[in-house]
Structure 1
Amino acid sequence: MNKFLGYIFTPIHYIVFGLLLLIFHPIQWLGLKLGGYKGHKKCVDLLNGFLVSTYYLMGSRVTFTNKQNLPLNRSIMFVANHQSMYDIPPLIWFLRKYHAKFISKIELAKGIPSISFNLKYGGGANIDRKDTKQAVSEIIKLGKRMKDNNWSVVIFPEGTRSRDGRLKPFAVGGIATIIKKVPEVLIVPVAINNSWKFVRFGKFPLSFGEHMTWEVLSPIEIAGRPVEEVLEEAHNAIQAVLHQ
């Protein structure tokens, strides 16, 4: 039934999703020109709130749980598992007060309405995976912006999406680079469940009636500990609440 209804409702979802990207592209431009960073960010936040609402067109439920009392005057590194592209809009919308940035493939920074504009001007890092020097340089710049502005970052340390929801090993990579630049950063694991089911049949049809959840877990202080040890703790925390 999930697949059958998906054939009916997926076109509606894609049409609305695409229209939102087209509509908000000039809105972002205006927000940036008239209001600078703050104006642009408000537009991006609003866009992603609307994008999350398109999930409901697929009969899906979105539950975002954050019971943690996280600081607003300190950079945070949200370490999350990655199951689909649909992980991202809820993270931007529900974590908007933390100014969470992303590390993205440089290819995404052009050609996609709204998304590319935000990646280019939103303050994140756009990296070329084939150019290690460029990638490290961009992540270092992101770390500096985090430190200067108390911004946060969302990291997907698996490196790629999990097609079946199973948690992959975490890579240290960019995480260690950011920690060197922002040693006081607070590590906060985020467990994402069932967004992989939304795309289990591929891009078409999307699966109808899935319940996707995002849960912010207890923060982890680095306090001079090895990065590998901190990441293992975050990995174990996420693994404990994933639905297998």
Structure 2
Amino acid sequence: MNKFLGYILTPVFYFFFFLTLIIFQPIQWVCFRLFGYKAHKVSVDYLNFFLTYCQVFLGNSITFVNQQELPADRPVIFVANHQSMYDIPGIIWFLKKHHVKFISKIELTKGIPSISFNLKYGGGANINRKDSKQAVSEIIKLGRRMKDNNWSAMIFAEGTRAKDGLMKPFHVGGIATLLKAAPDALIVPIAIENSWKIVQYGAFPLSCGEKIRWTVLPPVPIAGLNPEELTLAAEQAIRKFLKQ
């Protein structure tokens, strides 16, 4: 039934999803060019609000659970499993007070309405995966911006999407590099559930009636742990929550 309904509802979802991207392209431009970072940040927040709740056109539910008292005066490195591109809008919207930035492929800074503009000017790190020196340099710059502004970063430490929902081992590289520039950053795991089911049949049809859920887990105690141990602790916390 989920797949059958997907044939009917996926075009509706895509229409509103891409309409949102098109509408917010000029809104972002005006906010950034005329009013600066703060206004641009607000426009990006609301862009991702609408992108998140476009899921209602598929009959998918949205649940974001955050019972953690996270500091606003300290950078945070959020570490999550990664299931689909639909993981991202909810993180930006629901964690908006933490100014979450992403590490993205530099190719994504061109050609995608709203998304490319935000990646280019929003303060994240856009890396060339074929140039390790450039990639490390950009991530260190992001770490410095985090430290200077109390921003946060989102790391999908598997390095790729888990298309069947089963977690892959976490990589330490991005976390270790950020910690070099922002050594006081707090490590906070996020467990993502059922996002992979949206695209289990591919880009068309999308699946309907899924329960998309993000859960912010307790911060990893950072004292005395090296980046490898911190990464493993975050991975284990998410695996335990997801029972994987």
Task: Kindly provide the amino acid, as one letter, of the partner of residue 70 in structure 2.
Answer: L
The corresponding residue for 1:53 is 53
The corresponding residue for 1:77 is 77
Q: CA deviation at 1:243?
A: 5.9
| 2:23 counterpart of 1:19 | no
Normalized against structure 1, the TM-score is what? 0.98
| 2:71 counterpart of 1:93 | no
Instruction: Please show how residues 1-244 of structure 1 align to structure 2 within 5 Å.
Output: 1-242=1-242
Task: Kindly provide the amino acid, as one letter, of the partner of residue 238 in structure 1.
Answer: I
Greater alpha carbon shift after TM alignment, 218-227 vs 162-171: 218-227
Q: CA deviation at 1:223?
A: 1.8
Task: Kindly provide the amino acid, as one letter, of the partner of residue 59 in structure 1.
Answer: G
d(CA) in 2 for partners of 1:170, 1:102:
17
Q: CA deviation at 1:224?
A: 3.5
Runs of 4+ in structure 1 over 3 Å off:
none
Q: CA deviation at 1:177?
A: 0.7
Normalized against structure 2, the TM-score is what? 0.98
- Unmatched 5+ stretches in structure 2: none
d(CA) in 2 for partners of 1:241, 1:219:
14
d(CA) in 2 for partners of 1:174, 1:224:
19
SS of residue in 2 equivalent to 1:189: strand
Q: CA deviation at 1:225?
A: 1.1
d(CA) in 2 for partners of 1:114, 1:173:
28
Q: CA deviation at 1:220?
A: 1.3
Task: Kindly provide the amino acid, as one letter, of the partner of residue 180 in structure 1.
Answer: K
Could you tell me the percent identity over the aligned residues? 64
Q: Do 2:186 and 2:220's aligned partners in 1 also have CA atoms closer than 8 Å? A: yes
RMSD: 0.8
Q: Do 2:175 and 2:231's aligned partners in 1 also have CA atoms closer than 8 Å? A: no
Q: Do 1:193 and 1:243's aligned partners in 2 also have CA atoms closer than 8 Å? A: no
Q: Do 2:63 and 2:213's aligned partners in 1 also have CA atoms closer than 8 Å? A: yes
SS of residue in 2 equivalent to 1:85: coil
SS of residue in 2 equivalent to 1:206: coil
SS of residue in 1 equivalent to 2:187: strand
